[in-house]
Amino acid sequence: VILHGTRAGVRTLTLNRPDKLNAANDELLLSLTTALQAAEADDTVRVVVITGAGRGFCAGQDLGDVSGRNMTFTEHLNHTYNPLIRTLRGLNKPVISAVNGVAAGAGASLALAGDIRLWAQSARLIEIFSNIALVPDSGSTWLLPRLVGYHRAFELMALAERVDAAEALRLGLCEHVYPDGTFADEVQAYAERLAARPANALKLTKQALNAALTSTLDDALDQEAALQQLAGDHWEHREGVSAFKEKRAPQFVRE
Ligand code: LHQ
Protein backbone atom coordinates (compact mmCIF):
# COMPACT_ATOMS: atom_id res chain seq x y z
CA VAL A 1 0.00 0.00 0.00
CA ILE A 2 3.04 2.29 0.21
CA LEU A 3 5.46 2.49 -2.72
CA HIS A 4 9.04 3.42 -1.83
CA GLY A 5 11.56 5.04 -4.18
CA THR A 6 14.80 6.91 -3.61
CA ARG A 7 16.58 9.26 -6.02
CA ALA A 8 19.31 11.79 -5.25
CA GLY A 9 18.72 11.67 -1.49
CA VAL A 10 14.95 12.02 -1.89
CA ARG A 11 12.80 9.17 -0.52
CA THR A 12 9.36 9.22 -2.12
CA LEU A 13 6.57 7.38 -0.31
CA THR A 14 3.48 6.95 -2.48
CA LEU A 15 0.12 6.06 -0.95
CA ASN A 16 -1.10 3.35 -3.28
CA ARG A 17 -4.80 2.62 -3.10
CA PRO A 18 -5.72 4.67 -6.18
CA ASP A 19 -9.16 3.07 -6.70
CA LYS A 20 -10.24 4.62 -3.39
CA LEU A 21 -8.35 7.88 -3.78
CA ASN A 22 -5.81 6.39 -1.34
CA ALA A 23 -8.31 6.25 1.51
CA ALA A 24 -6.50 5.08 4.62
CA ASN A 25 -6.92 1.69 6.21
CA ASP A 26 -4.84 0.48 9.15
CA GLU A 27 -2.30 -1.20 6.89
CA LEU A 28 -1.67 2.01 4.96
CA LEU A 29 -1.30 4.10 8.13
CA LEU A 30 0.97 1.66 9.94
CA SER A 31 3.07 1.09 6.80
CA LEU A 32 3.48 4.82 6.25
CA THR A 33 4.63 5.29 9.84
CA THR A 34 7.13 2.42 9.47
CA ALA A 35 8.32 3.87 6.16
CA LEU A 36 8.95 7.26 7.79
CA GLN A 37 10.93 5.59 10.57
CA ALA A 38 12.98 3.71 7.98
CA ALA A 39 13.67 6.96 6.12
CA GLU A 40 14.82 8.53 9.38
CA ALA A 41 17.25 5.67 10.02
CA ASP A 42 18.70 5.69 6.48
CA ASP A 43 21.65 8.10 6.20
CA THR A 44 21.32 8.29 2.43
CA VAL A 45 17.86 9.86 2.78
CA ARG A 46 17.91 13.65 3.21
CA VAL A 47 14.32 14.56 2.31
CA VAL A 48 11.06 12.60 2.40
CA VAL A 49 8.18 13.15 -0.03
CA ILE A 50 4.68 11.83 0.65
CA THR A 51 2.35 11.73 -2.35
CA GLY A 52 -0.54 9.72 -3.75
CA ALA A 53 -0.94 7.33 -6.68
CA GLY A 54 -3.62 8.12 -9.25
CA ARG A 55 -5.91 11.12 -9.12
CA GLY A 56 -6.19 11.47 -5.31
CA PHE A 57 -3.76 12.34 -2.53
CA CYS A 58 -5.68 10.75 0.36
CA ALA A 59 -9.46 10.68 0.94
CA GLY A 60 -9.05 10.14 4.68
CA GLN A 61 -10.28 7.13 6.59
CA ASP A 62 -11.48 4.28 4.38
CA LEU A 63 -15.15 4.35 5.25
CA GLY A 64 -15.54 0.79 4.03
CA ASP A 65 -13.09 -0.36 6.65
CA VAL A 66 -14.64 0.95 9.86
CA SER A 67 -17.77 -1.11 10.44
CA GLY A 68 -17.18 -4.22 12.48
CA ARG A 69 -13.93 -2.95 13.88
CA ASN A 70 -13.47 -3.89 17.50
CA MET A 71 -11.71 -0.68 18.50
CA THR A 72 -13.18 2.50 19.85
CA PHE A 73 -12.56 5.71 17.91
CA THR A 74 -10.09 6.76 20.58
CA GLU A 75 -8.21 3.46 20.40
CA HIS A 76 -8.20 3.63 16.61
CA LEU A 77 -6.67 7.11 16.56
CA ASN A 78 -4.10 6.19 19.19
CA HIS A 79 -3.19 3.04 17.25
CA THR A 80 -2.84 4.47 13.73
CA TYR A 81 -3.29 8.17 12.97
CA ASN A 82 -1.65 9.69 16.03
CA PRO A 83 1.63 7.73 15.81
CA LEU A 84 1.79 8.67 12.12
CA ILE A 85 1.38 12.40 12.75
CA ARG A 86 3.79 12.34 15.70
CA THR A 87 6.40 10.50 13.63
CA LEU A 88 6.00 12.88 10.69
CA ARG A 89 6.16 16.07 12.73
CA GLY A 90 9.04 14.75 14.83
CA LEU A 91 11.09 13.46 11.89
CA ASN A 92 14.61 14.91 11.85
CA LYS A 93 14.42 15.35 8.08
CA PRO A 94 12.24 17.66 6.01
CA VAL A 95 8.97 16.07 4.88
CA ILE A 96 7.23 17.36 1.76
CA SER A 97 3.49 16.78 1.39
CA ALA A 98 3.16 16.55 -2.39
CA VAL A 99 -0.58 16.94 -2.79
CA ASN A 100 -1.37 15.57 -6.25
CA GLY A 101 -5.15 15.44 -5.89
CA VAL A 102 -7.97 15.57 -3.38
CA ALA A 103 -6.99 15.56 0.30
CA ALA A 104 -9.98 14.99 2.57
CA GLY A 105 -10.48 14.33 6.26
CA ALA A 106 -7.39 12.78 7.79
CA GLY A 107 -5.89 13.08 4.28
CA ALA A 108 -6.22 16.85 4.61
CA SER A 109 -4.41 16.64 7.93
CA LEU A 110 -1.61 14.71 6.22
CA ALA A 111 -1.48 17.31 3.45
CA LEU A 112 -1.06 20.09 6.01
CA ALA A 113 1.40 18.24 8.24
CA GLY A 114 4.41 18.32 5.91
CA ASP A 115 7.19 20.85 6.51
CA ILE A 116 6.70 21.92 2.91
CA ARG A 117 3.40 21.59 1.06
CA LEU A 118 3.56 21.41 -2.75
CA TRP A 119 0.28 21.17 -4.67
CA ALA A 120 -0.73 20.17 -8.15
CA GLN A 121 -3.06 22.66 -9.82
CA SER A 122 -6.03 20.29 -9.55
CA ALA A 123 -5.48 19.41 -5.86
CA ARG A 124 -8.26 20.15 -3.38
CA LEU A 125 -8.37 20.13 0.39
CA ILE A 126 -11.56 19.41 2.32
CA GLU A 127 -11.94 19.43 6.09
CA ILE A 128 -14.65 16.91 5.38
CA PHE A 129 -15.12 15.42 8.84
CA SER A 130 -18.34 17.30 9.64
CA ASN A 131 -20.03 15.76 6.58
CA ILE A 132 -20.06 12.53 8.57
CA ALA A 133 -20.53 14.39 11.86
CA LEU A 134 -17.02 13.77 13.17
CA VAL A 135 -14.42 16.06 14.68
CA PRO A 136 -11.29 16.99 12.66
CA ASP A 137 -8.44 14.74 13.73
CA SER A 138 -4.85 13.79 12.91
CA GLY A 139 -3.63 17.19 14.03
CA SER A 140 -6.00 19.39 12.02
CA THR A 141 -7.42 21.14 15.09
CA TRP A 142 -3.90 22.06 16.19
CA LEU A 143 -2.41 23.01 12.85
CA LEU A 144 -5.18 24.68 10.87
CA PRO A 145 -5.93 27.54 13.32
CA ARG A 146 -2.19 28.21 13.51
CA LEU A 147 -2.18 28.57 9.72
CA VAL A 148 -5.37 30.50 9.09
CA GLY A 149 -6.60 31.66 12.52
CA TYR A 150 -9.46 30.32 14.60
CA HIS A 151 -12.32 31.74 12.58
CA ARG A 152 -11.28 30.62 9.13
CA ALA A 153 -10.40 27.20 10.56
CA PHE A 154 -13.83 26.89 12.12
CA GLU A 155 -15.56 27.86 8.89
CA LEU A 156 -13.54 25.37 6.83
CA MET A 157 -14.35 22.65 9.34
CA ALA A 158 -18.02 23.52 9.82
CA LEU A 159 -18.95 23.85 6.15
CA ALA A 160 -16.48 21.29 4.71
CA GLU A 161 -16.09 23.35 1.55
CA ARG A 162 -13.44 22.50 -1.01
CA VAL A 163 -10.32 24.67 -0.98
CA ASP A 164 -8.77 24.83 -4.44
CA ALA A 165 -5.09 25.44 -5.15
CA ALA A 166 -5.33 29.21 -5.64
CA GLU A 167 -7.23 29.57 -2.36
CA ALA A 168 -4.81 27.23 -0.57
CA LEU A 169 -1.91 29.40 -1.70
CA ARG A 170 -3.72 32.54 -0.54
CA LEU A 171 -4.57 30.99 2.84
CA GLY A 172 -1.06 29.64 3.40
CA LEU A 173 -2.03 25.98 3.19
CA CYS A 174 0.63 25.33 0.57
CA GLU A 175 3.92 26.88 -0.48
CA HIS A 176 3.80 26.30 -4.25
CA VAL A 177 1.37 25.16 -6.94
CA TYR A 178 2.58 23.44 -10.11
CA PRO A 179 0.81 22.32 -13.31
CA ASP A 180 -0.57 18.77 -13.08
CA GLY A 181 1.45 17.62 -16.08
CA THR A 182 4.83 18.48 -14.60
CA PHE A 183 3.96 18.05 -10.92
CA ALA A 184 6.07 14.95 -10.17
CA ASP A 185 9.13 16.48 -11.86
CA GLU A 186 8.67 19.80 -10.05
CA VAL A 187 8.36 18.00 -6.72
CA GLN A 188 11.53 15.99 -7.35
CA ALA A 189 13.44 19.13 -8.41
CA TYR A 190 12.25 21.01 -5.32
CA ALA A 191 13.11 18.07 -3.05
CA GLU A 192 16.61 17.82 -4.54
CA ARG A 193 17.13 21.52 -3.86
CA LEU A 194 16.16 20.89 -0.24
CA ALA A 195 18.37 17.79 -0.11
CA ALA A 196 21.41 19.92 -0.97
CA ARG A 197 20.84 22.15 2.05
CA PRO A 198 22.69 21.51 5.34
CA ALA A 199 20.86 18.53 6.87
CA ASN A 200 21.98 19.08 10.45
CA ALA A 201 20.99 22.75 10.38
CA LEU A 202 17.58 21.90 8.92
CA LYS A 203 17.05 19.19 11.55
CA LEU A 204 17.75 21.72 14.30
CA THR A 205 15.63 24.38 12.59
CA LYS A 206 12.69 21.98 12.46
CA GLN A 207 13.16 21.20 16.16
CA ALA A 208 13.35 24.89 17.03
CA LEU A 209 10.26 25.85 15.04
CA ASN A 210 8.19 22.98 16.38
CA ALA A 211 9.11 23.83 19.95
CA ALA A 212 8.47 27.53 19.33
CA LEU A 213 4.94 26.86 18.10
CA THR A 214 3.94 26.21 21.70
CA SER A 215 6.57 28.14 23.69
CA THR A 216 7.11 31.63 25.05
CA LEU A 217 9.62 34.09 23.56
CA ASP A 218 11.86 33.50 26.57
CA ASP A 219 11.83 29.75 25.99
CA ALA A 220 12.41 30.22 22.26
CA LEU A 221 15.46 32.39 22.91
CA ASP A 222 16.89 29.77 25.28
CA GLN A 223 16.15 27.04 22.76
CA GLU A 224 17.86 29.00 19.95
CA ALA A 225 20.94 29.52 22.10
CA ALA A 226 21.18 25.79 22.84
CA LEU A 227 20.52 24.63 19.27
CA GLN A 228 22.84 27.26 17.78
CA GLN A 229 25.66 25.62 19.74
CA LEU A 230 24.88 22.28 18.14
CA ALA A 231 24.75 23.90 14.69
CA GLY A 232 27.90 25.93 15.23
CA ASP A 233 29.91 22.91 16.39
CA HIS A 234 28.95 20.92 13.27
CA TRP A 235 31.18 20.59 10.18
CA GLU A 236 28.40 22.04 8.06
CA HIS A 237 28.92 25.41 9.70
CA ARG A 238 32.66 25.36 9.04
CA GLU A 239 31.99 24.39 5.42
CA GLY A 240 29.46 27.21 5.01
CA VAL A 241 31.86 29.83 6.34
CA SER A 242 34.81 28.48 4.30
CA ALA A 243 32.72 28.48 1.14
CA PHE A 244 31.67 32.07 1.76
CA LYS A 245 35.26 33.23 2.24
CA GLU A 246 36.48 31.27 -0.77
CA LYS A 247 33.60 32.63 -2.89
CA ARG A 248 32.38 29.15 -3.88
CA ALA A 249 29.18 27.16 -3.38
CA PRO A 250 29.10 25.22 -0.10
CA GLN A 251 29.10 21.43 -0.31
CA PHE A 252 26.75 20.15 2.36
CA VAL A 253 26.41 16.61 1.02
CA ARG A 254 29.24 14.25 1.95
CA GLU A 255 29.39 10.75 0.52
C1 LHQ B 1 -13.60 6.08 -0.72
C2 LHQ B 1 -13.28 7.12 0.17
C3 LHQ B 1 -13.18 6.83 1.54
C4 LHQ B 1 -13.67 4.62 1.04
C5 LHQ B 1 -13.37 7.93 -1.81
N6 LHQ B 1 -13.38 5.56 1.93
N7 LHQ B 1 -13.79 4.83 -0.27
C8 LHQ B 1 -12.57 8.81 10.56
C9 LHQ B 1 -13.20 7.64 11.14
C10 LHQ B 1 -12.64 6.91 12.16
C11 LHQ B 1 -11.53 7.10 12.76
C12 LHQ B 1 -10.49 7.98 12.47
O13 LHQ B 1 -10.54 9.05 11.67
C14 LHQ B 1 -11.39 9.38 10.75
C15 LHQ B 1 -10.90 10.51 10.01
C16 LHQ B 1 -11.40 10.76 8.65
O17 LHQ B 1 -10.63 10.79 7.74
S18 LHQ B 1 -13.06 11.07 8.47
C19 LHQ B 1 -13.22 11.46 6.78
C20 LHQ B 1 -13.36 10.24 5.92
N21 LHQ B 1 -13.37 10.60 4.51
C22 LHQ B 1 -14.46 11.03 3.88
O23 LHQ B 1 -15.53 11.20 4.44
C24 LHQ B 1 -14.30 11.30 2.42
C25 LHQ B 1 -15.25 10.47 1.58
N26 LHQ B 1 -15.01 10.74 0.16
C27 LHQ B 1 -15.59 11.76 -0.49
O28 LHQ B 1 -16.34 12.54 0.06
C29 LHQ B 1 -15.24 11.89 -1.95
O30 LHQ B 1 -14.80 10.66 -2.42
C31 LHQ B 1 -14.15 12.96 -2.22
C32 LHQ B 1 -14.76 14.37 -1.96
C33 LHQ B 1 -12.90 12.76 -1.36
C34 LHQ B 1 -13.73 12.88 -3.68
O35 LHQ B 1 -14.86 12.93 -4.51
P36 LHQ B 1 -14.77 12.50 -6.05
O37 LHQ B 1 -13.59 13.14 -6.67
O38 LHQ B 1 -16.12 12.76 -6.64
O39 LHQ B 1 -14.46 10.93 -6.04
P40 LHQ B 1 -15.45 9.71 -5.71
O41 LHQ B 1 -16.33 10.06 -4.57
O42 LHQ B 1 -16.10 9.25 -6.97
O43 LHQ B 1 -14.41 8.59 -5.18
C44 LHQ B 1 -13.74 7.67 -6.07
C45 LHQ B 1 -13.80 6.30 -5.47
O46 LHQ B 1 -13.07 6.34 -4.20
C47 LHQ B 1 -15.21 5.88 -5.12
O48 LHQ B 1 -15.29 4.49 -5.27
P49 LHQ B 1 -16.14 3.84 -6.49
O50 LHQ B 1 -16.02 2.37 -6.26
O51 LHQ B 1 -17.52 4.39 -6.40
O52 LHQ B 1 -15.42 4.31 -7.73
C53 LHQ B 1 -15.32 6.21 -3.66
O54 LHQ B 1 -16.27 5.45 -2.98
C55 LHQ B 1 -13.93 5.89 -3.15
N56 LHQ B 1 -13.62 6.63 -1.93
N57 LHQ B 1 -13.15 8.25 -0.54
N58 LHQ B 1 -12.86 7.78 2.45
pLDDT in tens, 73-120: 999 999 999 999 999 999 999 999 999 999 999 999 999 999 999 999
For 122, the domain range is: 2-195
ipTM score for this prediction = 0.98
**Which residue, judged by its Cα, is nearest atom 45 of ligand 1?**
20
What is the position in ligand 1's atom list of the atom closest to the CA of 73? 11
Residue 176 within any structural domain of the chain = yes
DSSP 163: B
Please state the domain count of the chain.
2
107 and 168 share one domain: yes
162 and 225 share one domain: no
115 and 207 share one domain: no
114 and 162 share one domain: yes
Measured CA to CA, the distance from residue 253 to residue 246 in angstroms comes to 18
Per-residue pLDDT band for 5 (boundaries 50, 70, 90) equals very high
Per-residue model confidence as pLDDT tens digits over 212-245: 999 999 999 999 999 999 999 999 999 999 999 9
SS3 content of the chain, % helix, strand, coil (to 5): 50, 15, 30
Residue 207's CATH number: 1.10.12.10
Residue 98 within any structural domain of the chain = yes
**Which residue, judged by its Cα, is nearest atom 1 of ligand 1?**
20
Q: Are 17 and 57 in contact (CB under 8 A)?
A: no
Most ligand 1 atoms within 8 A of CB, residue of 16, 17, 19, 21 to mutate: 21
80 and 34 share one domain: yes
**Which residue, judged by its Cα, is nearest atom 29 of ligand 1?**
59
Residue 250 within any structural domain of the chain = no
Residue 184's CATH number: 3.90.226.10
116 and 218 share one domain: no
Global confidence as pTM: 0.98
157 and 38 share one domain: yes
Q: Is the pLDDT of residue 69 over 90?
A: no
Q: Are 49 and 11 in contact (CB under 8 A)?
A: yes
